[in-house]
Amino acid sequence: MKRWIGISWVSTVFAFLYGPLLVLMVFSFNQARHTTAWQGFSLTWYASLLENQYLLDAFVNSLTVAFVSSLAATAMGTLGAFAIAWYRFAGKKLFFGLVYSVMMSPDIVMGISLLMLFVTAGIHPGFFTLLVAHITFCLPFVIVLVHARIAGFDPAVVDAARDLGAREHEVFFKIIFPMILPAVLAGWLLSFTLSLDDVIISFFVTGPGFEILPLKIYSMVKLGVTPEVNALCTILFVLTLAAVLVAHFLIKEKKK
Amino acid sequence: MNEKQGFKFIAVFLNMTWFALFVLAPGLMVVGISFLTRDISTFFTWPLTLDHYRELVDPVYAKVLKNSLVYSFNTTLLCLGIGYPFAWFLSRAPGHRRPLLLMMVIIPFWTSSLIRTYALVILMKANGLINTVLLAAGIVSEPVSMLYTDFAVYVGLVYSLLPFMILPLYAVLEKLDIRLMEAARDLGANSLQVFVHVVLPLSLPGVMAGCIMVFLPAMGLFYIPDLLGGAKTMLVGNFIKNQFLTTGNWPFGSAASVFLLLLMVLMLAIYFFISSRFNRSQLS
């Protein structure tokens, strides 16, 4: 009896979490434009996406921002995690505090605070401001992920390398980096996902000249539901799914 | 400077500078500007004033804050009510099934909340799937209006934020020592007593972490009421967005943001209070 309650509770919640997404994906392949009745399998909406230059541009913009910002955040965050784990420096506590406060603070506060910074500094909103904002919100995730991995291995390995005459960059690139690589890759993939999906922060820091996909979807949905949006959302969901699955696999590897 | 110091300098300097420029400085700007006066052309100007905070407690705007707090509070309760039993059952699932089940919670956690909100729009619109099914089954004779109601906003908030409640709860419940429950039972406690006196207190840090991760974002997710609710339903997030993008009143929007930051500090303080008390009681 108890087991039965558990199974039905868990499956109901999963149905709630996945049902709407599933419906969205199925209907992206629906022939019909206006009704929700199924009128046969079709790739019409995917084809019409390919002809929509505005959406394609936004998609390329989104991918560019996500790629560059996730790469930069991963490089910098890996160094940051390394700094926290191995070095003592003034302001370490403040740094740690800032890392966590970025993760906890509401997106909208970060969005408006960066908006004010950019406008006051006279920086034109667009690709550059988006990049800076996305690096900033991805950075803490990379630092925390990589730090957990660094903290997990034996420091004697590093001492041994130093005793054997390895120089500092050799210690980092030949010893530490290969050991933390899974966490670094996971951090990169998750940053990519975060960047690709962000709505709230991007909303405040992008300009009219540089459109990105989530904001485009947002304005399209506000105007009304079109089957192209279903197809677009399905593509984005599948991309996220792939990134998360690979990242999860990489993080799990470390425990073995 | 030798190589080691050089490496350290780059690693520390780069990150510290980035956080100082793009987290600390803008954060201080929010607080600073909230005390300045509004200006049409330069957005803010001297003199210092408390007017924006006074306005926030003015009945018109206080109502927005109160509404948003009510939405967040109810959303948090709903997530806790659905998520706690879910996390519990998940943590008691057979060991070999758990990784897959956990993965199924993590996927929506990372999936764009906008896409998931849009998926709800499709389901709930007047000629959406739910209405089509209800009409076809003869349960209703005309479409039920679900979209643009409070109900839709709650569904949207819970749908977006539920994974953020489940994951921290699962993390504490999975580690829970089953022997403590057995001991309580051996000493004559019934199921309710075991839950109230053993399971619940031990999972309190997870409960608090989950509540923070639901309550705070629920104040700011402006696109959920935008897409699912009528114009009446307004979160602090919508209010801040309007101050910045429609009215151009930076100081007032900043004051509302400071309100959110203070809420965050308050909730984190409660979290640390609970977990430090928790750690002490673990030791003694």
Hey, what's the torsion of the CAs at A153, B17, A188, A248, to 10 degrees?
Answer: 50
Average pLDDT of span A109-138: 93
d(CA B113, CA B91): 25
**Residue tagged 């764009």 (tokens):** B112
pLDDT band at B255 (very low <50, low <70, confident <90, very high): very high
**Which value does ipTM take for this structure?**
0.88
DSSP H or E run through B67:
helix B59-91
- Decide which of B213 and A33 is more confident: B213
- Give percent above pLDDT 70 in chain A: 96
pLDDT band at A256 (very low <50, low <70, confident <90, very high): very low
Minimal C-alpha gap between A75 and chain B (Å): 10
Q: Where are the domains of chain B?
A: 49-283
pLDDT band at B2 (very low <50, low <70, confident <90, very high): low
For A52, left (φ over 0), alpha (ψ -120 to 50), or beta? Answer: beta
d(CA B39, CA B248): 9
Q: How far apart are the first and last CA of chain A?
A: 36
Contacts of B73 (CB under 8 A, 6+ apart): B215
Contact of B169 with chain A, judged by CB distance below 8 Å, is answered with no
Indicate the residue type of B242. N
Q: Where are the domains of chain A?
A: 1-42, 51-253
pLDDT digits (tens, 9 = 90+) for B176-189: 888 888 888 889 88
CATH 1.10.3720.10 fits A51-253, yes or no: yes
- CATH code given to domain B49-283: 1.10.3720.10
Indicate the residue type of A249. F
Q: Residue B259 has what pLDDT?
A: 92
Minimal C-alpha gap between A48 and chain B (Å): 19
Minimal C-alpha gap between B60 and chain A (Å): 22
Q: Tokens in use for A223? A: 């105007």
The residue among B59, B32, B81, B120 whose CA lies nearest residue B214 is: B81
Q: Tokens in use for A47? A: 């084809």
Measure Cα distances from A111 to A202, A204, B82, B199, B249 in Å.
7, 5, 31, 39, 15
pLDDT digits (tens, 9 = 90+) for B10-40: 888 888 899 999 999 999 999 998 898 777 7
d(CA A43, CA A128): 36
**Residue tagged 């923070």 (tokens):** B212
Interchain proximity B219–A106, CB inside 8 Å: yes
d(CA B24, CA B176): 38
Q: Residue B281 has what pLDDT?
A: 65
Contact of A76 with chain B, judged by CB distance below 8 Å, is answered with yes
Q: Are A108 and B260 in contact (CB under 8 A)?
A: yes
Interface of A with B in 3-32 (CB under 8 A): 6-7, 9-10, 13-14, 16-21, 23-24, 27
